[in-house]
Copies of this chain bind each other. A is one copy, B any other.
Amino acid sequence: MRPELLERVLSLLPEAGPHPELARFYEMLRDYPRRGGKGLRSELLLAGARAYGVREGTPQWESALWLAAGVELFQNWVLIHDDIEDDSEERRGRPALHRLHGVALAINAGDALHAYMWAAVARAGVPGAHEEFLAMVHRTAEGQHLDLAWVAGREWGLTEHDYLQMVGLKTAYYTVIVPLRLGALVAGAQPPETLTPAGLALGTAFQIRDDVLNLAGDAAKYGKEIAGDLLEGKRTLIVLHWLGQAPEDQIAVFLDQMRRERPDKDPEVVAQIHGWLLESGSVDYAQRAAQAQAETGLKLLGDVLGAAPEREAARALLGRVRELATREA
């Protein structure tokens, strides 16, 4: 995220407490924010605020920055917990927080960071923002539940529709819908209804691209372990499409690996499955699906932003959303 936003996030977090061990706790809270996420979602919020007429240096801009800090805090506490839930090894090129400090301390640090998010929301003082953050947490947790329940239940009999419902909840609200709605709210505008279907399509495009990059991306640019989704047994559009057309012997090998907990998976066999997926047409299929979702979303968003007061800022926002929905890393 932009340096002034990181500073704002860190300004909410404590530095020293009544016991030396608490300094370590506060360091845990600062760790993920300091690892330098891209700040996609906060930038979307700020670009949305500009499109709706908020100018830098005004009290409304100050509120927008607090909401943007809140969105970044959301991203960071959720990642701490996600990394535990998925038992991920790395985050932004370093070991995941629970791999550095253990699961118990990392859950607790995520909880504290969650509450600091609400401190940022309160500082913004924007009517309606509290409800947006509630919706953001709830939709994301619902999507996360579907994702995790399917992993826990070894559930592979899923349709593309199931997948789209899951990523709509898990990704679209916190990545696109809520940042854009907050951008309107901070300007005192009522968020247009069409932001929701636009954001659903764009967030879905973003997540499918993420799934593709996870399998076929450049490790150095991507910042997460390549094929980590396979090790974590994630349902992706690629895998669901592949399961519908792959040879039966390959499917049997796949399901055998997916029945196992992560430490019991055979890395060589997983690498072989990874190869099958890359050679199949399923990555291309997912690319095309992402492209179609991105076009739908951009069309809807373009129509909505036609009514936004700041035309140039609206165009800048649309460009930013296009990058996000068609990203290469």
Residues of A within 8 A of B (CB): 14, 17-19, 21-22, 24-25, 78, 81, 84-86, 101-105, 107-112, 114-115, 118-119, 122, 130-131, 133-134, 137-138, 141-142, 144-146, 148-152, 162, 165-166, 169
Q: Are B146 and A104 in contact (CB under 8 A)?
A: no
Copies of this polypeptide in the complex: 2
Chain B residues whose CB sits within 8 angstroms of the CB of A108 once the complex forms: 81, 85, 141, 144-145, 148
A203 to B102, CA, bound (A): 28
Q: Is the interface of A mostly helix, strand, loop or mixed?
A: helix
Given contacts A145-B21, A152-B102, A134 and B107 within 8 Å (CB-CB) = no
Contacts of A22 in B (CB 8 A): 142, 145-146
Q: In the complex, which residue of chain B has the Cβ closest to the Cβ of A118? A: B118
A30 shortest CB reach to chain B, Å? 14
A21 touches B107 (CB 8 A): no
30 sampled A-B residue pairs with Cβ under 8 A: A14-B138, A18-B165, A18-B169, A19-B166, A21-B149, A24-B149, A25-B145, A81-B107, A81-B108, A85-B107, A85-B108, A86-B104, A101-B152, A104-B148, A104-B151, A105-B145, A107-B107, A108-B141, A108-B148, A111-B114, A111-B141, A112-B141, A112-B142, A114-B114, A115-B133, A115-B137, A118-B134, A122-B130, A122-B131, A122-B134
Chain B residues closer than 8 Å to A19, beta-carbon distance? 146, 162, 165-166
CB distance from A64 to the nearest CB of B (A): 20
Neighbouring B residues of A150 by C-beta, 8 Å: 21
Determine whether the beta carbon of B138 is less than 8 Å from that of A112: yes
